[in-house]
Every structure is written in C-alpha cells, then in structure tokens.
Structure 1
Amino acid sequence: MHTAPLNIILYQPEIPPNTGNIARLCACTGCHLHLIHPLGFEISDRTLRRAGLDYWKYLQLTEHACWQDFLKSGCIGGTMHAFTTRGQQLLWDCRFEPGDALLFGPESRGLPEEILDSTTNVRLPMRPDAPVRSLNLSSACAVAVYEAFRQWRHDPLFPSILS
C-alpha cells in the first residue's frame, strides 16, 4: 500500500452518497479515508457502494469505533484541519503538508465543539449573503483535497499525484 498524501476523516457521516463520493475521491487521489462511527448508514448500503462505483477495491479505508479510538490509534502524524462554517482561517490561508488530516463533520450538525477546540479550524469562503449555510460535504472535501494538491504542484516529491 502506498503512503497517502492526505488523510480524509469523516466524523459520523450521515448520508451514504456523500461518503461514497468521498470514497471515490480518495481512490482517485490516493488519500486515506477514515470513518468515525457511528455512521448514519451501513457500510454495505447499496447507495453508498453505488456512489463509489467500482472504486471500493482501490480505497485505503480505516473504520474507527469512536472519536477516542481514532485518537488512540495515533494514525495521523500531521496537522489536523477541521472544516467548519465557524472556522477563522480561510482555506487559501491554510498551508497543507503531506500526511495532514482533513476532518469533516456530519452533514446535519457539523463537528462538536470539543473537537473544534483541539484542531485548526478552516472555513471555505462563501458569499456573505449566501442563502445556504454550507457546501455539500463531498464538494467541500474535494475542494480541500485539490487545494492541498494545488499547493504541492511544484513539489518534486509529488509529480505522480499531480499529473
């Protein structure tokens, strides 16, 4: 198995197609997907598998029983960037390094305060009068992953991931 450029962490995701789309993103980019339970669906859910199409066999996936088990696993060596509508740091002001973790909360409520208090909180910019509160989870995740890759576009260590 290759070394993942980023770790994508979904904390208690609720909507199968979002998780399936993110799984496909991870399979295409080599990112490691971490799912923190409880999930709002079964991992074998038909809609989850369909959203990921035939990419599941290429996915580096780890499931964690709960947030504390994830933390105890010590599997993240880099900075943890939590994405939240309440983040003070804008995405383009954030510097990503290989091995960092991009953390996303459940679609209906976002990340709990106790997690946000211990992470770097990042916000995707939106217009001030936007009639919606946030982007779709899978869209936000893709934007963040490709911003990290954009930052690394001149890094000689990552030519294969960026071609």
Structure 2
Amino acid sequence: MNIVLFEPEIPYNTGNIGRTCVATNTKLHLIEPLGFSLDQKEIKRAGLDYWPKLNYEVYKSFDDFMEKNNHPKVWMATTKAHKVYSDVTYGSDDYIMFGPESRGIPEEILVDHEEECVRIPMFEDTRSINLCNSAAIVLFEALRQNHFEGLNLSGELHKLHWND
C-alpha cells in the first residue's frame, strides 16, 4: 500500500503517519511544499525510532508525483466525496491520498478524480477527523481487504506467574 500526503503542515501528524507506515510496510509519499523540515525534532519525536526505517519519497508537485509513479490508482480522502471509504475495493498497490490539515486536497485535483474520492462518515457538522486517525482508518480498511498481506496476524501472550 501507499499513503500520499499532499502538502502536509504539521510535523507530528506526518511523524505519526510515518510510524504507521513502517508498522504496515506502507510507502509514504510526501508532496511539497511541506509545512516543516524532515529533520525537525517534532517529526522524529512523533515517529520515534521508526523514522529511519521509513520508506518514503518527496515530490515537487502533484504532477511530479503522478508522473514518477506512472499515474497510479489514487484514492483521495475528502469530506467532499460521495462514497464511503469502506464501500470501495482497494488493490494491494493502490495509493491513498490526504490533503493538508487546514484545507484538504484542492478541488481542482478532486474534480479530475471524483470517482476515486472517498470519505469517512462523521456526525453532523464535524469538519474533519485528525489526519493521523484518518490515514489509519482508511489504510487499515485497505489492508483488511487485502487480507493484511505480509503483516503479522497473531501475537503471543506470555503468562506470568505472579505467585512464583
């Protein structure tokens, strides 16, 4: 899977999303301008020790991103979509794009990709959900549809004997 952040503004959000990408073997694509430097302490703090393990690429523009990735299937998360994120079928190599925290993906991009726009249902007049949470919600639905390919599906409890 692939997560695309179009002009992200808040380093903590990008750091957290980077950590989620490492945990799910998902590539992160960052489209400039970024609202921060990638060596900023906030991004590293949010990404913890996962940030050096992150597979990511930075692009100069949306067109640069599209060209360098051979015009891939890009699902665009937006409150303006008619489809719910869980009602579409994600391929294992698809891209899921999120816009900047303050304004979302620009309409001039959305209108050219209306069929690929998806939304997270929200109550009444809620403007949006935090970017980190939104990315995790949609990513894990896409991963679920692809049977969590390549991810650990079980853990192990270690029984401790407190009275021993």
When Rg is computed on C-alpha atoms for both structures, the one with the higher figure is: 2
Same fold (TM over 0.5): yes
Q: Taking structure 2 as the reference length, what is the TM-score of the superposition?
A: 0.87
Distance 2:9 2:87 in 1: 29
The one-letter code matched in structure 2 to 1:7 is N
> Using a 3 Å threshold, how does the CA distance of structure 1 residues 133 and 151 change in structure 2: closer, same or farther?
same
CA contact (8 A) 2:11 2:42 kept: yes
Query: Are the counterparts in 1 of residues 21 and 27 from structure 2 also a CA contact under 8 Å?
Result: yes
Residue matched to 2:129: 135
Q: Is the 8 A contact 2:92 2:143 kept in 1?
A: no
The equivalent position to 1:8 in structure 2, one of 3, 11, 29, is: 3
The yes-or-no answer on 1:23 pairing with 2:18 is yes
Change in 2 beyond 3 A, CA 1:124/1:17: same
Corresponding residue for residue 156 of structure 2: none
Q: Distance in 2 between matches of 1:34 and 1:76?
A: 14
Deviations 1:43-99 (A, max 9, x none): 11110110000001211110111112112212564x210000011110111111110
Of residues 103, 113, 129, the one that matches 1:109 is 103
Q: Which residue in 2 is equivalent to 1:74?
A: 69
The size of the alignment, in residue pairs, is 151
How large is the RMSD of aligned CA atoms in angstroms? Answer: 1.4
Identity across matched positions, percent: 41
**Kept in 2: contact 1:76–1:100 (CA 8 A):** no
State TM-score, norm by structure 1. Answer: 0.88
